[in-house]
Amino acid sequence: MRIRPRLLAGAAAAALAIGVSSPALAQSADASSPDPAAPAAPAEVTTTATVPVFGTDLTITVVTTADGDFVSADLTTADGTPAPDYVKVEKIGDHDGKFKVSFVNDTTGVKIEVKGKDGKIGIETEIEPTDGSTPTVDAVAGTHTWMGDPFGNGGSLKVTYTVGVDADGNPTLTVDNVEVAGDVFAEGVWTDYPLQDQKVEMEHDEYKVEQKILVWNAANDSGTLKIEVEREHGEVQVKAEFKLDKPKSHDDDDDHHESDHDDHDDDHHDDDHHGDHDED
């Protein structure tokens, strides 16, 4: 996409200005030159998420091949032991890297679900009490994390966020920290590339807050991590999903340039943060 080289140049400049030294930044400044110090692409890619459920931290670990095919998924407690009282159900497709793994606790009504397909991986926690009572957001309140290698190139993205509850019992979402390593860049790391505005939806007894974080690398690959917290119809849900953008040809990029700006709020970044780069 046309805007990406300017994004990369700005990210590299911002990082160097604050004293960050990384082979990936040198590569982003001259993407045509391979970086001999960059880590080799791993044969397997691990994604982890930490979710507090009724005050207990649970960790979901998902392993896929570099092509996105399912390898394994596990649910553990803070000490690394398998989470008790959860039944694991796997449904693995035979194409497109499609899979779904569920961890279900019939006593508490908690279901943690992992889904993957075509470069997309999502981890969702759903609370629906089996006794028919209405769950509150407190069931998933606390500090959450999402960490993975979004492009399967040996880099990493880690996002730490807090789910809270407002005076009306609706969920709040605060991104506390965004960290990157290797050939990965993201909004929320540098002041030139702040987080996008959150999206809030309210309708009857439903309330959802959503945060998107644009992620990219030196090869102009890009994707979005979307975090959602929702209260609706007797359920409370927290979902973190990373989705790769589909590669576009040069002609497609011209045809869909405007819609691509809308999808990633790049109008905001392009107009507000890249004016100086355009003049250079």
> For the chain, which residues make up each domain, given as ranges?
1-34+134-280, 49-131
pLDDT of residue 133: 86
pLDDT of residue 159: 98
* pLDDT beneath 50: ranges in the chain: 1-36, 250, 253-280
pLDDT of residue 58: 97
pLDDT of residue 131: 83
pLDDT of residue 196: 97
Residue 47 in tokens:
């994604």
pLDDT of residue 234: 80
pLDDT of residue 23: 34
Quick: pLDDT tens for 197-250: 999 999 888 999 999 999 999 999 999 999 999 998 789 999 999 999 987 654
